Structure 1
Amino acid sequence: MKKVYDAELIKYMALFEKIGNVNIKDIFQYNGMLCCVVDKENVSKLVGPQGIRIKKIQDMIKKKVKVVGYSSGIKEFVKDFIYPIEIIDIEENNGELIISCEDNKTKGLLIGRGRQGLTNLHNVVSRYFKINNIKVK
């Protein structure tokens, strides 16, 4: 998926970089919130002690913000992105990602109503990795 930034996202990116003093890898809208991807070692720097910086940003832009640490491995990136949802395992086979859950509640949280959650997850993961399909079992 191609990364496209409009003027609003560029403005948010500049704000995040100024307040958190970190380099932003990517920023996009996700489920009505703003999702910001930074290097893994810079997540705590952007969030701040006791979440003070991220709360300040949320108050300024009046939107919820999710900060995700970028990882070059697809398994670790997906685990970080879907946190706090707990999963058992992630397998990758020929462009297909298989996520194993421990119960139906977790499975339902991942898939979402009308597969919307799974579609959104696929769109985000395909921004960084070559993946054709995501399955939850």
Structure 2
Amino acid sequence: MHELLVLGSLLSRDMSGYKLCQVLGNALVPRRKISNGFMYPLLNKLAAAGDITFVTDTSDARGKKVAHLTATGRAHLHDMLVTPVATDAKRESLYRFKFKGMATEPVAVQSQILNEWQIARNNLNEFNDVN
């Protein structure tokens, strides 16, 4: 789940681990503080899989390293976007993360994600109406 948001966030620009902690923490409901002890192992896992690389931020005088999305990472993100979401407690967060990452996808994929979300919302509303 967290990989989806991290890769989706890197579509728009390269980011430091600190910035990705803030993005992830703000995206979760309820908001949470994401620790370096959680984020950096996740980033290392994505780097080991070839989904991201670490590059030097040329605009930073300290030579800070930022995560950069690779072609492999884009393909992995696409796979996660088209994978159906399980009916569980994390469903709403997963759809929110998918919405963030779907901007560069073809219209057909965007429509698929939105249609699945609408069906899931309707099913939830019907369940709530019965109970």
TM-score, normalised to structure 2, is 0.30
The structure carrying a bigger helix percent of its residues is: 2
The structure carrying a bigger strand percent of its residues is: 1
Structure number with higher relative contact order (C-alpha < 8 Å, ≥ 6 residues apart): 2
Larger CA Rg, structure 1 vs 2: 2
